[in-house]
Amino acid sequence: MKTTFILICATLLTLGVTAQNKVTGYVYNDLNQNNKKETKEQGISRVAVTNGEQVVLTDGNGKYVLPISSDQIISVIKPSGYKVGTDANNLPQFFYNHKPQGSPDLKFKGVAPTGKLPKYVNFGLIETEEANTFTALVFGDPQVYTLEEIEYFRSGIVSEVKAIKNVPFGISLGDLVGDDLSLFNPYIDAVKEIGIPWYNLMGNHDMNFDAETDALSDETYEAHFGPANYAFNHGKVHFIVLDNILYPDPRDGKGYWGGFRKDQLNFIANDLKFVPKDHLIVLAFHIPLSEPHGDSFKDEDREKLFSLLKDFPNTLSLSAHTHIQKQTFFNASQGWLREKPHHEYNVGTTSGDWYSGKLNEAGIPISTMRDGTPKGYAFLHFKDNQYNIEYKAAGKPKDFQIKIFAPKVVAQGKRTKAGIYANFFMGSEKDTVLYRIDNGEWQSMTHVEDYDPSYVALVYEWDTKTELMAGRRSSNPITSTHLWRGSIPTKLDVGIHKIDIKATDMFGNEYTKSSSYRVEAAK
């Protein structure tokens, strides 16, 4: 009898532990949009739900079961044809933060204790008409360090896209703030004014630097935005949002390194099992897979990511972090496993060159980036599983896509080492840039990797002025990857001569820009 009693107790204890280590719930059609599952609201089958590593599909009744630990976030992977509710700040509510004891004691507050796991963790979805042709709005690095910079961001960026139409959602690609995580709320207050659902991801300036492990470096981020790794669908596009910052750097315990933990790679692998192979996979993270300076990304992790994507013919990566704009194409020599290269778009930032430079007429720093790209944001246009990208320079007309630099005046008939430069902000060496003088024949410009002379002149104005300028000196220039050069004709009549530039990007978009220079008799 005693032995039987012990066995029964042991069985009950085991069952209890098993029950506590599982989370279950329903994904359902939230007809009245009150975020509470009611009897008449039916479950939705074959919707993916994740604990941040494992991914399962709901059954015929909309039910899921997942393993859970004492520090995990359960989230639904929004399917196409549905939307998730948002809170008062326009932040999508697609997750449940499970931290019974709360976050550890850190400098910036994390998640408060969530207590006992509910019997069901349910996710309401709202059925909606969702077109396969749509546009997303993308911000790189708002990176506000002060409340003053919050106002620069609000006035210089948010006000320009406030109440935007026909854009179902936006996303910021990390470095939402600049190390001071108490600025998360002012940042959220600014972005909510845009008036559309807004996704976020974590950057290296959004971390808890006093965390001892990478898994705990996102505690304050999680308290404000939810999981740092998640996914969702819209139309025929599958978005995977990732924290790709390893902190502390596993090589020496100092600083950070671009890469992924094993559980993150497992999440990507498990998530992709349920994504149709003909859909476009868009990965969004902060640090580029290949930065221009130094060993900034773990090669092994990039190779593992590429291996997971090898069966998907349509892919795109979005990154920020560099405060420049760049197009990168990965091929077999960089570990890409398909014939068509993988495109990574390193997006120009909304903070530009960290809110530096001269002040415009509204008192906002012009903040041109070090490669000559004006601060701004991007529109990603999707049609089925294809995409097209449009960059928008803040405070400029939509067609401002090229900056021309040429001498103001040249001597008639004299040879000169000066040239005509065109900085095509969205360009890459794959693109075609032409120029002509006085409506003459179009000629090819030469792609060069050099400093943009327009930006050089902007920077060194700070060093040559005899009076102090308002604002903060811009950063020193770096090589631009989207710069073209043409020779400047001098064997022309004395007078003003028109320059026309025509650039065609990888998507077939054509842009033009005009300028002029003057020819004078040699002295």
Answer yes or no: do 254 and 381 share one domain: yes
Answer yes or no: do 57 and 172 share one domain: yes
Residue ending a domain, among 353, 373, 398, is 398
Answer yes or no: do 341 and 413 share one domain: no
| Paired sense of beta strands 409-411 and 386-393, if any | unpaired
Q: Backbone phi, then psi, for 312, in 5-degree steps?
A: -110, 110
| pLDDT above 70 for 3 | no
Task: Give the closest residue to 326 by CA, choosing from 451, 398, 427, 433.
Answer: 427
| Res 426: pLDDT | 97
Answer yes or no: do 311 and 337 share one domain: yes
Answer yes or no: do 357 and 373 share one domain: yes
Query: Which residue would you say has higher pLDDT here, 161 or 293?
Result: 161
Tens-place pLDDT, residues 462-483 = 999 999 999 999 999 999 999 9
Task: List CB contacts of 45: < 8 A, sequence separation 6 or more.
Answer: 57, 58, 59, 60, 61, 62
Tens-place pLDDT, residues 244-271 = 999 999 999 999 999 999 999 999 999 9
Tens-place pLDDT, residues 422-434 = 999 999 999 999 9
CATH number of the structural domain spanning residue 93: 3.60.21.10
The count of domains in the chain is: 2
- Is residue 471 a contact partner of residue 355, using CB atoms and an 8 Å limit? no
Residue 20 pLDDT grade (very low, low, confident, very high; cuts 50, 70, 90): low
Answer yes or no: do 346 and 489 share one domain: no
- Is residue 233 a contact partner of residue 79, using CB atoms and an 8 Å limit? yes
- Is residue 183 a contact partner of residue 215, using CB atoms and an 8 Å limit? no
Residue 10 pLDDT grade (very low, low, confident, very high; cuts 50, 70, 90): very low
Q: Residue 119 is which amino acid?
A: K
- Is residue 422 a contact partner of residue 487, using CB atoms and an 8 Å limit? no
Residue 321 pLDDT grade (very low, low, confident, very high; cuts 50, 70, 90): very high
Residue ending a domain, among 374, 398, 422, is 398
Task: Give the closest residue to 401 by CA, choosing from 421, 423, 369.
Answer: 423
Answer yes or no: do 408 and 389 share one domain: no
Using CA atoms, how far apart are residues 210 and 248, in angstroms rounded to an integer? 10
Task: Give the closest residue to 453 by CA, choosing from 423, 410, 481.
Answer: 423
Answer yes or no: do 354 and 482 share one domain: no
Copy the structure tokens of residue 351.
Answer: 């903070």
pTM: 0.94
- Residue 365 burial (CB count, 10 A): 23
DSSP, collapsed to helix, strand or coil, labels residue 272 as helix
| pLDDT above 70 for 357 | yes
Answer yes or no: do 135 and 271 share one domain: yes
Residue ending a domain, among 344, 372, 398, is 398
| pLDDT above 60 for 18 | no
Answer yes or no: do 318 and 406 share one domain: no
Answer yes or no: do 422 and 468 share one domain: yes
Using CA atoms, how far apart are residues 84 and 77, in angstroms rounded to an integer? 10
Residue 16 pLDDT grade (very low, low, confident, very high; cuts 50, 70, 90): very low
Answer yes or no: do 355 and 442 share one domain: no
Average pLDDT value for the chain: 94
CATH number of the structural domain spanning residue 512: 2.60.40.10
Copy the structure tokens of residue 470.
Answer: 């308002």
Average pLDDT over residues 268-289: 98
* DSSP E strands, 399-509: 402-405, 409-411, 419-424, 432-437, 443-444, 446-450, 480-487, 495-504
For residue 170, the surrounding DSSP H or E stretch is: strand 169-172
Instruction: Tell me what percent of the residues of the chain surpass a pLDDT of 90.
Output: 94
Using CA atoms, how far apart are residues 101 and 476, in angstroms rounded to an integer? 47
Using CA atoms, how far apart are residues 474 and 135, in angstroms rounded to an integer? 32
For residue 281, the surrounding DSSP H or E stretch is: strand 280-284
Which residues constitute the domain of residue 440?
A: 402-520
Average pLDDT over residues 228-255: 97
- Residue 5 burial (CB count, 10 A): 9
